């Protein structure tokens, strides 16, 4: 078990990674009865290509074959030609989808280019991926196309990155056709994955109708494996679009060395306006390190205008300072509503003081507390004691809980999860892997934090 402790601060570190960006959640103005008619968390396609598919070759009419447990496309296709695989008609009615697949190219020349495009039933672009021998290319915008051919004039508007074509890559997409957004990540598929791209883009596509294999010019086989299309379990269906959110806390909310934390990912996907006040190293108690301070100071410095939601965490650094600062203890939730009765030299008293300050400053805002995942980098008994106090305080003060700790399997006491889902520093500008177990990387954020927070925010919006 990995038990080394490190403060959640702003000290620079290095690394990056992602296993899969899995549950991204967006939508707008989708009627509740329509959403209820769907089965959440449904798998629509799950194909490993270990055997021939029905229809054959995954439905590609030309240039495709299945061998060696993978689907090969753009085989022996002429310049500017396409092969189109349509999705089931029922897929066109899906408003929120998650798509993940592994991809590799065998293209051998920088003067050649092959790729694939996702388009709607009117030929509008949803997402595109391509490569030469030295450049990876991806796009969320570009001309409409009926996909009968792939001339230069109909190429998507490519964003280009250098890459190693000998590697497999995992492409993760969260598609929202109500807000017309796609959140994407492209990650090398290896023991220490490297993120090549991650972002959120506006799209023109209104549904997922077809997967298009494109031989733009030259020749180069592409391979696809582990193709999985799902309906997310916790889609918000637009109920959060246009709302405002303030975020407070430590580096798990701030993002550590990366500017996009789980709150940023959620706000991007849901069309929310986010203002983030969190600081690396912050504590609930008044024993913060240097300028990081305590979370109530963030609240006091924040805009007086009330947001729709206040999202906050706390306790990750307190789990260390409780063992380091003499006189600081966990304490107990008070029976009083009067801040004068709260003992700020206890975690419980400081937490209640912080919550009371939030409620007083923004009486109309919905407060959501996000407990961190199970941490291999902190004392376990201390985590359990802090959790008991925070849940009691949340119940007392009417604070909603997006319970990453209790409602997910994210547990960095497990070595494989620590390596796969946490980071200490950046590689190529993106979070790495192999962290101490505290800071979630993009995989940890999208697999665990975003679905949990989105589900809680959407539930609040539905019942408001």
Q: What pLDDT does 354 receive?
A: 98
- Structure pTM? 0.89
Q: What pLDDT does 288 receive?
A: 60
CA distances from 377 to 4, 221, 387 (A): 5, 44, 16
pLDDT in tens, 200-257: 999 999 999 999 999 999 989 999 999 999 999 889 999 999 999 999 999 999 999 9
In this model, does residue 3 exceed pLDDT 50? no
As a residue count, the chain comes to: 464
pLDDT in tens, 434-458: 999 999 999 999 999 999 999 999 9
Span 6-31, average pLDDT = 30
Q: Measured between alpha carbons, how far is 92 from 272 in angstroms, rounded to an integer?
A: 25
Q: What pLDDT does 233 receive?
A: 87
Handedness of CA 74, 192, 370, 304 (dihedral sign): negative
Span 353-367, average pLDDT = 98
Q: Measured between alpha carbons, how far is 104 from 225 in angstroms, rounded to an integer?
A: 9
pLDDT in tens, 71-130: 999 999 999 999 999 999 999 999 999 999 999 999 999 999 999 999 999 999 999 999
Domains of the chain by start residue, with CATH = 42-230 (2.60.120.200), 244-463 (3.40.50.1110)
In this model, does residue 37 exceed pLDDT 70? no
379 or 290: which leads in pLDDT: 379
Q: Where are the alpha helices (DSSP H) in 190-284?
A: 251-254, 262-270
Q: Measured between alpha carbons, how far is 315 from 402 in angstroms, rounded to an integer?
A: 15
353 burial level (CB within 10 Å; 0-12, 13-18, 19+): buried
Q: Measured between alpha carbons, how far is 138 from 129 in angstroms, rounded to an integer?
A: 4
């Amino acid at each position: 078990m990995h038990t080394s402790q490190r403060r959640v601060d702003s000290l620079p570190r290095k690394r990056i990674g992602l296993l899969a960006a899995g549950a991204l959640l967006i939508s707008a103005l989708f009627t509740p009865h329509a959403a209820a008619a769907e089965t959440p968390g449904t798998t629509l396609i799950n194909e490993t290509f270990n055997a021939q598919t029905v229809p054959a070759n995954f439905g590609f009419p030309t240039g495709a074959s299945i061998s060696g447990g993978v689907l090969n496309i753009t085989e022996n296709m002429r310049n500017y030609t396409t092969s189109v695989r349509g999705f089931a008609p029922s897929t066109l009615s899906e408003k929120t989808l998650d798509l993940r697949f592994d991809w590799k190219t065998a293209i051998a020349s920088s003067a050649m280019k092959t790729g694939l495009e996702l388009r709607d039933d009117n030929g509008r672009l949803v997402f595109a991926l391509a490569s030469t021998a030295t450049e990876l290319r991806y796009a969320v915008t570009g001309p409409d196309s009926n996909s009968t051919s792939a001339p230069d004039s109909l190429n998507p508007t490519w964003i280009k990155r250098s890459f190693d074509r000998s590697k497999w890559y995992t492409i993760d997409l969260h598609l929202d056709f109500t807000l017309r957004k796609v959140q994407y990540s492209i990650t090398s598929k290896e023991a220490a994955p490297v993120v090549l791209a991650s972002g959120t883009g506006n799209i023109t596509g209104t549904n997922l109708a077809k997967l298009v294999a494109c031989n733009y010019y030259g020749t180069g086989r592409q391979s696809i494996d582990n193709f999985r299309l799902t309906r997310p379990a916790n889609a918000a269906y637009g109920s959060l679009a246009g709302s405002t959110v303030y975020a407070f806390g430590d580096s798990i909310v701030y993002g550590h060395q990366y500017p996009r934390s789980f709150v940023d990912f959620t706000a991007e996907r849901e069309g929310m306006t986010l203002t983030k006040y969190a600081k690396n190293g912050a504590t609930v108690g008044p024993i913060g390190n240097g300028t990081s301070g305590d979370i109530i100071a963030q609240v006091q410095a924040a805009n007086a205008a009330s947001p729709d939601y206040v999202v906050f965490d706390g306790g990750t650094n307190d789990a260390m300072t409780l063992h380091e600062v003499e006189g600081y203890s966990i304490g107990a939730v008070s029976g009083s509503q009067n801040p004068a009765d709260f003992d700020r030299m206890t975690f419980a008293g400081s937490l209640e003081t912080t919550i009371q300050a939030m409620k007083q400053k923004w009486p109309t805002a919905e407060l959501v507390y996000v407990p961190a995942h199970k941490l291999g980098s902190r004392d376990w008994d201390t985590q359990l004691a802090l959790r008991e106090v925070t849940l009691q305080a949340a119940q007392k003060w009417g604070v909603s809980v997006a319970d990453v700790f209790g409602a997910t399997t994210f547990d960095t006491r497990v070595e494989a999860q620590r390596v796969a889902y946490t980071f200490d520093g950046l590689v190529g500008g993106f979070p790495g892997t192999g962290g101490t177990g505290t800071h979630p990387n993009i995989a940890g954020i999208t697999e665990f934090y975003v679905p949990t927070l989105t589900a809680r925010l959407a539930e609040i919006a539905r019942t408001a």
